[in-house]
Structure 1
């Protein structure tokens, strides 16, 4: 689905990008758009279709940033951090706005318990980063190094 497709009000998709990973997400709210961006990144390299509540642990983190785009980067950097340090991936995300950012409840599972479908992200880039609010809601685009 594409953001302009009226059949669905929220979602995400991978976008072809030379030697990198690019994800677009859209939703009526900022927090829902961010959650779809996280899901889109994770689904770009793992098949999460079988993810359930079994073996899931919650990690609560606070993400702070001066702008919405920086908030997107900081949240995705958390995803990359937990993947690199604990081999964990979020299968669900709960986001709550705070005065200077977000409180994120990341429902984590072992990445090794899912089929690998692509290269894992190594870093979030600022190249062509976009996170905007418009008449139809929020949209974002982000590129990650793989």
Structure 2
């Protein structure tokens, strides 16, 4: 039985099957499903599958999410699986965008303008001053916000 899980940042945490149940149920609800007991049964099948596949190793979040997709498809819940996959992809995209934004902020804070293209992209702003850095924080934050929440993903990638 699964008791621990490896999070995305490498930390181990206590495994909670309720999170899988809720994720499956929310995906099912988004396509018109309403059977919580079925979500529970599917979650326990996911746990059994992970127990067999990992044989005593601590599973990662990604392994569990992959198993949820596999079980949903195998058990005939293709629409729920599609909803789950789309939600998972969106969360991954947001996580990556947040990571990218934090990297930009780190560069703005700790690098000199001569080492950082972002600080030098506007000749009217001195990127090494406090005010110049604050202006860049705002513009880079707004840029990331628009890419994540306003623009269509296909337009943001262009």
Q: TM-score, normalised by structure 1?
A: 0.24
TM value normalised by structure 2: 0.22
Bigger share in strand: 1
Higher relative contact order (CA 8 A, sep 6+): 1
Which of the two has greater helix per residue? Answer: 2
